[in-house]
Structure 1
């Protein structure tokens, strides 16, 4: 049984369309048919129901699909690890990271770690903070860098407790921040765990209005264009502050509110401990 047959079958099973499968696999439609026929001959069973020019995955095909995906994933992992070893890597770590962290401290973390541990190959997966704990628990990633604590039973360490900064357009930097909070739209992130605490303080103002965006970079861009203001962790706005594209305040009324960054892992290995130590060092130096 050839792996290429399995790769063709997986796409055909998901699309139930041999023409589309051929396009995705960059092979002819007749080759797709031959791959499926070879599989069915070896398995001694049909995997599809055929009606004129249409095909539909049958129950045996659905069962075989799950097994085929496992086989192909195993083969791909073996190929990747062998190539990594050939290039001088001795081990691998997959990091699941929230976009907010990826756009702020992650580049410094990766650069420093690769300098210290060049034989460890890193893979980065961008995930929402509410997905990272589950990915760590399921073994999909080795390490999670998240803005949310996981509900799963995983090793957890707080890397940082960052004060919030109120960011405003440069053209409004001379306006009193409490006045801005009553005049401007306050932009917030879907997974900002500190937002409820911010709202408690805002309730003491005569009025305020808010709008939810689901990406930190979009929030910063909206603020640059004068479409609102926002509370964000210090590390997230550091580059914009130095570039003078945004202005930030530390507002006394909100000084007790912090944004946590969590390091999550299911297991503790020497490589994971080394990455954790590296993260600690980067956050402490900020």
Structure 2
């Protein structure tokens, strides 16, 4: 039993008009007649009664009309399921993240996704946030995670986390037993201030620091992981998002102290992807449901 016979029967059964059915299916009227005869021969049941040039469903035809529709729906659903299975079997995804987020929990979440979904082949790239949108539009990447939203109408942005900036200083400036208070002005006099790694998300940082601490000694470092290493080695001070210093805070690698000289902003983390890109749905759900700290 061919599906084309079932399709012709279903349309002809609903219209009870072979000419109209032929027009709806974009085939000839004789083809409809042939398909119905073939189906009746296969089933050994008369589906239509023909009287005075008109056709009408028999009682058996009315019963089988529902059955035929269900068969066609199952066939179509089976084709869709098979397509999804085939696509899921070998899905290639390229994920790009901002350099600052390399030290966050995001790479670990992506790793967990790969373990849970072995049929996905994931490539991870590290690029500046400003480049993520162009890589998505060109098809070189499928998911972007960065610090700035896209300005393209074809790219969807989702805010997945907001992380406060913290004032981070070397560990030897505080004694837990004596509880000596920090002198922020003294810290800026003593240590260089590492900057540039947050200038893209906080452009006015250098001016604000200079206005409040005119004696500051700034050192431009674009990579946050280098800033963290230098602070741990006692070589300077800076502002860093809480999201990327979680481990160091738990291990007591440096001090995070209150900063009240001016208001510190929060760092917003955006997930970006092309609109209607279904292949990214699973990884997007993973990122949205995972706990970022």
TM-score by length of 1: 0.62
Alignment pair present for 1:252 and 2:253: no
Q: Which residue of 2 aligns with 1:272?
A: 280
Q: What is the Cα deviation at residue 236 of structure 1?
A: 0.9
Q: What is the Cα deviation at residue 156 of structure 1?
A: 1.1
Q: What is the Cα deviation at residue 255 of structure 1?
A: 4.6
RMSD: 2.6
- Asked if structure 1 preserves the Cα contact closer than 8 Å seen for 2:95 and 2:125, the reply is yes
Mean Cα deviation higher: 248-257 or 158-167:
248-257
- Asked if structure 2 preserves the Cα contact closer than 8 Å seen for 1:143 and 1:263, the reply is yes
Alignment pair present for 1:123 and 2:131: no
Alignment length (residue pairs)? 200
Matches within 5 A, 1:180-199: 180-190=187-197, 192-199=199-206
Quick check: which has more Rg, 1 or 2?
Answer: 2
Alignment pair present for 1:144 and 2:151: no
Q: What is the Cα deviation at residue 113 of structure 1?
A: 1.8
Question: Relative to structure 1, is the Cα distance of residues 116 and 252 closer, same or farther in structure 2, using a 3 angstrom cutoff?
Answer: farther
- Asked if structure 2 preserves the Cα contact closer than 8 Å seen for 1:96 and 1:144, the reply is yes
- Asked if structure 2 preserves the Cα contact closer than 8 Å seen for 1:147 and 1:259, the reply is yes
- Name the SS of the counterpart of 1:102 in structure 2: helix
Structure 1 gaps, min length 5: 1-84
Q: Which residue of 1 aligns with 2:249?
A: 241
Alignment pair present for 1:229 and 2:237: yes
Question: Relative to structure 1, is the Cα distance of residues 107 and 190 closer, same or farther in structure 2, using a 3 angstrom cutoff?
Answer: closer
Question: Relative to structure 1, is the Cα distance of residues 269 and 152 closer, same or farther in structure 2, using a 3 angstrom cutoff?
Answer: closer
Distance in structure 2 (CA, Å) of the matches to 1:118 and 1:192: 38
- Asked if structure 1 preserves the Cα contact closer than 8 Å seen for 2:103 and 2:245, the reply is no
TM-score by length of 2: 0.60
Matches within 5 A, 1:82-161: 89-153=89-153, 154-161=155-162
Structure 2 gaps, min length 5: 1-84, 175-180
Which digits, 9 at most, give the CA deviation of each residue in 1:243-265, with x for residues without a partner?
A: 22221124234554111111111
Which digits, 9 at most, give the CA deviation of each residue in 1:77-136, with x for residues without a partner?
A: xxxxxxxx99x9431211011222122222321133234433222111111222222211
- Asked if structure 1 preserves the Cα contact closer than 8 Å seen for 2:167 and 2:259, the reply is yes
- Asked if structure 2 preserves the Cα contact closer than 8 Å seen for 1:145 and 1:263, the reply is yes
Q: Which residue of 2 aligns with 1:71?
A: none
Distance in structure 2 (CA, Å) of the matches to 1:268 and 1:253: 45
Matches within 5 A, 1:190-229: 190=197, 192-202=199-209, 203-229=211-237
Distance in structure 1 (CA, Å) of the matches to 2:189 and 2:150: 34
- Asked if structure 1 preserves the Cα contact closer than 8 Å seen for 2:195 and 2:220, the reply is yes
Question: Relative to structure 1, is the Cα distance of residues 253 and 280 closer, same or farther in structure 2, using a 3 angstrom cutoff?
Answer: farther
- Name the SS of the counterpart of 1:171 in structure 2: helix
Q: Which residue of 2 aligns with 1:24?
A: none
